[in-house]
Amino acid sequence: AQKVTQAQTEISVVEKEDVTLDCVYETRDTTYYLFWYKQPPSRELVFLIRRNSFDEQNEISGRYSWNFQKSTSSFNFTITASQVVDSAVYFCALSRRNQGGKLIFGQGTELSVKP
Amino acid sequence: DGGITQSPKYLFRKEGQNVTLSCEQNLNHDAMYWYRQDPGQGLRLIYYSQIVNDFQKGDIAEGYSVSREKKESFPLTVTSAQKNPTAFYLCASAAGGPGNEQFFGPGTRLTVL
């Protein structure tokens, strides 16, 4: 069975704090893809990153960084020096090869960054 | 300006009525998807289409129907058979091939009165 778990339902931080959003996935496939999406108050999902199962390199994009570890089936997302504009719901998702690109979403983590 | 449009933004329906949600994309994407989002939950796949005139059921297809007569359009009909249709509906599209990111529309909020 394929599954994505985001155990943190809500996180609240004060501006400039660092925050890590956890994502754990389950799949028996050797080829798969992992994604992070941001859903701001407008509710339109914004794509943040994609990783395939053969690329375990960590990635940094500005204040955002991602840590992919196959050994623990995790794909965690860290925001450094958080800002109020980072307040949103963040979703981790998994897709499998030859499954039409279907995304299996976690339940999301609602991040609130207070000034 | 390339993107995905969904209309209407808000939709109200009486019980027993069918209603159709529109989704159009001008990204020249082969694949299109419909998801449903309920409060406090992730998105769940209703239907998807990888090519014109072909579509497959997702995890929660009961009470819904779709068509894919044109590459750029993938309308979703919520039928009276759908027991609990009040939700936020999101349409997405992606380039063909495995692992491509999906791009989402702004969504339609459907409320059954």
For the stretch A67-91, pLDDT in tens is: 999 999 999 999 999 999 999 999 9
A residues 53-112 lying closer than 8 A (beta carbon) to B: 91, 93, 95, 97-98, 100-103, 105-108
Summarize pLDDT for A28-63 with one digit per residue, the tens. 999 999 999 999 999 999 999 999 999 888 888 999
pLDDT in tens, B13-68: 998 899 999 999 999 999 999 999 998 788 999 999 999 999 999 999 999 999 99
* Secondary structure (3-state) at A93: strand
pLDDT band at B1 (very low <50, low <70, confident <90, very high): low
Q: What percent of chain B has pLDDT over 70?
A: 98
Using CA coordinates, name the residue in chain B closest to A107. Answer: B42
- Chain A CB within 8 Å of residue B1 CB: no
Long-range contacts of A24-29, Cβ-Cβ distance < 8 Å, separation of 24 or more: A24/A72, A24/A73, A24/A74, A25/A73, A25/A74, A25/A75, A25/A92, A25/A94, A26/A1, A26/A2, A26/A73, A27/A2, A27/A3, A27/A94, A27/A96, A29/A2, A29/A53, A29/A96, A29/A97
- Asked if A52 has any chain B CB less than 8 Å from its own CB, the reply is yes
Torsion of CA A59, A60, A63, A66, to 10 degrees: 10
Helices (H) and strands (E) in chain A, counts: 0, 12
CB contact under 8 A, B105 and A44: yes
Confidence of residue B8 (pLDDT cuts 50, 70, 90): very high
pLDDT bracket for residue B12 (50, 70, 90):
very high
Angle at B31 between CA B74 and CA A35, to 5 degrees: 120
Tell me which chain A residues have a C-beta less than 8 angstroms from the C-beta of B43. Answer: 45, 91, 103, 105
How confident is the model at residue B48, as a pLDDT? Answer: 96
Residue-level pLDDT at A39: 96
Å from A99 to nearest chain B CA? 8
Interatomic CA distance for residues B94 and A101, integer angstroms: 8
Give the residue-averaged pLDDT of B76-80.
94
Q: Given this model, what pLDDT does residue B41 score?
A: 80
Query: Is B73 an interface residue toward A (CB < 8 Å)?
Result: no
| Cβ atoms of A51 and A68 closer than 8 Å | yes
